[in-house]
Amino acid sequence: MFKMTQVFVYGTLKSGQPNYYRMLDAANGKAKFLGRSRTVDSYPLVIATQYNIPFLLNVPGKGHCVRGEIYSVDEKMLKFLDWFECCPHQYQRTLVKLEVDEWVGEGENNPKAGSIIETFVYSTTTYKPEWLQNPTYENYDSYGDHGLEYVCREDRCPK
Ligand code: PCA
């Protein structure tokens, strides 16, 4: 029996966002959608760098209660995500408290809407201080009105 881990994704890994396909790629491991939720505490979710990367700054009490999706991932996918998110340099994988909005995962201990759970999230404390001045978002969308579309790794120019 493989150990499964729950991860809350709020950025480019959400369905419909530019890196979602990586969660579906069996070569990276397994990911199963469990439900939707928001963070119990507020955090600044900002878009930063020349590549318009979303970051949840690990500064509770500022910004919004951030919305995202919960996935159950196997060890292979967890390792892939740690590598892909440049953990622990760019992001750190930390625990976050979530309020469940909707749960579709099946099992014995299904949390009901409104219950509080804890999962991993890729947040960061290794941000530039000026990012704290950026607009904050409740629900990240690369294709939103802000016009700051995420630049995929493959499209980045070598410096
Ligand atoms: N990928 C991770 C962290 C930010 C990002 O773009 C996520 O979607 O949660």
pLDDT tens, residue order, the chain (159 aa):
668 999 999 999 999 999 999 999 999 999 999 999 999 999 999 999 999 999 999 999 999 999 999 999 999 999 999 999 999 999 999 999 999 999 998 887 789 999 999 999 999 999 999 999 999 999 999 999 999 999 998 888 765
Q: What is the pLDDT of residue 108?
A: 72
Q: Give how far Cα 131 sits from Cα of 19, 45, 68, 121, Å.
A: 22, 10, 21, 19
DSSP letter, residue 58 = S
pLDDT of residue 153: 86
69 tagged catalytic: no
**Domain boundaries, given as residue ranges, for the chain:** 5-133
13 in contact with ligand 1, CB cutoff 6 A: yes
Residue 11 CB–ligand 1 contact under 6 Å: yes
- Cα–Cα distances (Å) from 83 to 75, 79, 91, in that order, read 12, 6, 10
122 lines ligand 1 (CB under 6 A): yes
Instruction: Verify whether ligand 1 is closer than 6 Å to residue 70 (CB atom).
Output: no
| CATH 3.10.490.10 holds for 5-133 | yes
Tell me how far the alpha carbon of residue 81 lies from the centroid of ligand 1, in angstroms. 9
Q: Are 116 and 95 in contact (CB under 8 A)?
A: no
Q: Residue 49 has what DSSP assignment?
A: T
Substitution site in 122, 139, 150, 152 for ligand 1 pocket (most atoms within 8 Å of beta carbon): 122
In order of 44, 46, 139, the CA distances from 130 in angstroms are 12, 11, 21
Cα 55 to ligand 1 centre (Å): 7
| Res 155: pLDDT | 87
Pocket flag, ligand 1, residue 9 (CB < 6 Å): yes
Which amino acid, one-letter code, is at 60?
P
3-state secondary structure of 37: strand
Contact between 6 and 78 under an 8 Å Cβ cutoff? The reply is no
